[in-house]
Amino acid sequence: MRAILIDDERLARAELRRLLAAHPEVEIVGEAANAADGIQQIAALKPDLVFLDVQMPGGSGFDMLAALDEAPEVIFTTAFDQYALQAFEVNALDYLQKPIQAARMAAALQRCALRHGRALAYAAAGVPAVAPMAARKLFIKDGERCWFVGLQDVRLFESDGNYTRVYFDKHKPLMLRSLNQLEERLDPQRFFRASRRHIVNLDYVDQVTPNDAGGLDLLLRDDLEVEVSRRRAAQFKSLASL
């Protein structure tokens, strides 16, 4: 796995480097000392894994992730930021407490490799050409709360002004992205632009019924209803016949 270390303290990065020396499967391809630098490095180097300090000058690690179009695997490093971590919906979160113990590091890397491998396999089962993209996750920060969500878990994106509401599990937080910005990043084979307001994950479509306006009504799992405009209905049929 190709990894980037982001921490404002040189000694903290040195300590990570030393700990990672015991894990030859992790290749450190870059280092960053602040959020802005981190965003650049991630964009340029497209790492599989990021070690990210929660408290950083010029915006927290969470703010930095929220500014990314898609999030790589992340292992947070933190000294004592209990409140910040509580903001998190914990399921997808990996974090190491400083000073980092070698055994904890090994366990975190193992979990991470497992997740990464599973996501890659999942994507490979779809369309191989877009596999690396589909393996990515979305990081959403809505107010004080944060979520890491695999794209395969998102049922629906709904436009809400400059924001987009993201439906997954029992949650529907807002993220600061327009639907058009998101559409460019999503796998068109799985995510279908149903109308000006909606992008639907086709894996979650349960029922399709024609409506009076000449379009289609899609019923998603968990009773979400989405209308497909007439203009896009033909496109939907050709996709669905695949």
Shortest Å distance, C-beta 77 to other proteins: 9
Q: Given the complex with other proteins, which of 77 and 201 has the nearer CB atom?
A: 77
CB 191 within 8 A of CB 134: no
Q: Which of 22, 40, 63, 80 binds other proteins (CB under 8 A)?
A: 80
Shortest Å distance, C-beta 42 to other proteins: 17
Task: Tell me which residues in 25-54 interact with other proteins (CB under 8 A).
Answer: 33-34, 36
Shortest Å distance, C-beta 138 to other proteins: 26
Q: Confirm or reject binding of residue 103 to other proteins (CB under 8 A).
A: no
Site size toward other proteins, by CB under 8 A: 21
Residues in a beta bridge with 96: 77
- Helices 102-125 and 10-20 pack at an angle, to 10 degrees, of 70
Residues in a beta bridge with 32: 6
Q: Confirm or reject binding of residue 21 to other proteins (CB under 8 A).
A: no
Q: Which residues contact 152 (CB under 8 A, 6 or more apart)?
A: 122, 134, 201, 203
Amino acid letter, residue 107? A
Q: Confirm or reject binding of residue 20 to other proteins (CB under 8 A).
A: no
Largest CA distance in the chain: 66
CB 120 within 8 A of CB 135: yes
Sign for the CA dihedral angle at 177, 179, 184, 186 comes to positive
H-state helical runs in 126-202 = 131-134, 179-185
Shortest Å distance, C-beta 50 to other proteins: 18
Give first-to-last CA distance, the chain, whole Å. 34
Shortest Å distance, C-beta 131 to other proteins: 36
Q: Confirm or reject binding of residue 57 to other proteins (CB under 8 A).
A: yes
Q: Confirm or reject binding of residue 55 to other proteins (CB under 8 A).
A: yes
Q: Given the complex with other proteins, which of 11 and 242 has the nearer CB atom?
A: 11
Binding site for other proteins (CB under 8 A): 8-12, 14-15, 18, 33-34, 36, 55, 57-58, 79-81, 97-100
